[in-house]
Structure 1
Amino acid sequence: LLVVPFDPARALTFEDPTVTDPQERLRLFGQFDHVRIYGRDYPDRLREAGFTVDEVDPCAGLGPEEVFRLGLKREEVLHVVGRG
């Protein structure tokens, strides 16, 4: 299970390990101890590292009430990752 900061609005991952100030990291990456926020290139980066990646729509086949009840977001994609 991989849980990472992900922004589907970003085409490319943004990272800057030189940012050391916790407040600046919070502003840039959404959390004080992060140095990157992944973009839509995230699955490709995983594949380049040798993993298999399936992109799954968790809302597929669900109605609006079910999506709400399960706390899902229509724009989210699950990245199911395995060994290459």
Structure 2
Amino acid sequence: MVICIITGLLFILVGWLIWKKKKLKLIAGYDEKQYKGDKNKLARVMGIYSITLGVIIIIFPFLMEYLGDWSSWILIGIIVFLTLFTLIRVYFK
């Protein structure tokens, strides 16, 4: 439980740095020379994505304890949907 909380807080911190401080180098695979899109939009979308993942990671052990193991499948589904939605939003708009 402690590991999930620490990991979630790190995701939230990284998301805040990407979104508000525009630290785009924290995004895996980001290359400033090759990226042609709007960098402010990329920072916002990826920052919100990281913060949302951080919150899900923090909530994860509590839901598993109180709702059972099946809740992990719901959270995994949410993470997969969120990841696909973010990728489509960044690369196709």
TM-score, length of structure 2 as denominator length: 0.26
More strand by share: 1
Q: Which has the higher contact order (CA 8 A, sep 6+)?
A: 2
TM-score, length of structure 1 as denominator length: 0.28
More helix by share: 2
